[in-house]
Amino acid sequence: MKTKILVSACLLGHPVRYNGSAKSHDAELLAHWQAEGRVVVFCPELAAGLATPRPPAEIQSGDGEAVIAGRAQVRDREGRDMTQPWLLGAWLTLRSADIHQCRIAFLTEGSPSCGSQTIYDGTFSGRLRTGSGVVTALLRRHGIEVYSQHQTLLVQSRLHEMDKET
Ligand code: SF4
């Protein structure tokens, strides 16, 4: 059985990022996964009701884990507290992953929602720091493996291993 994989909508070419752009990645590979019936496409920020375009937002004083634990906040560049919509987007993503039985996710690096290895440091200066976004942190808490678009070979390997297990 083909393992389902949750994929960031912007990686699939949907123009849903804060600035109205996409972040298309390896269209051939993603088309192959879609043809196999594996792909569950999702954008947490749109699911939470945010518009495109929207002001950029970053996690202040922490990462996604700290946001879930109530020790950090998400704020947009205008200083508005966006923590609640970010948490809502994360829970809706987890719900979609559960409904479709996704055990693995392929999400956009650097995003305060979808980042899995790095996020912006909260100063809106373009600097990255180690850490995950809010969605990634919640998915990992619930046992879902999360990788970025820079880990394609690892994701393919995990998909094939998971296919054999089911
Ligand atoms: S929340 Fe995730 S899927 Fe949506 S635009 Fe940002 S990085 Fe892409």
Would you kindly state where each structural domain of the chain is located, as residue ranges? 4-165
Mutate to test the pocket of ligand 1, among 19, 21, 41, 43 (most ligand atoms within 8 A of CB): 43
What's the pLDDT tens digit per position in 31-51? 999 999 999 999 999 999 999
How far is it, in rounded angstroms, from Cα 154 to Cα 125? 31
Mutate to test the pocket of ligand 1, among 96, 113, 118 (most ligand atoms within 8 A of CB): 113
Confidence of residue 139 (pLDDT cuts 50, 70, 90): very high
pTM, entire model: 0.98
* 25, pLDDT greater than 90: yes
Span from the CA of 120 to the centroid of ligand 1 (angstroms):
14
Choose among 132, 139, 144, 148: nearest CA to 67: 132
* 166, pLDDT greater than 80: no
Helix (H) or strand (E) segment spanning residue 148: strand 145-148
Phi, psi of 56 (to 5 degrees): -65, 150
Which residue bears the tokens 């920020």?
45
What's the pLDDT tens digit per position in 99-116? 999 999 999 999 999 999
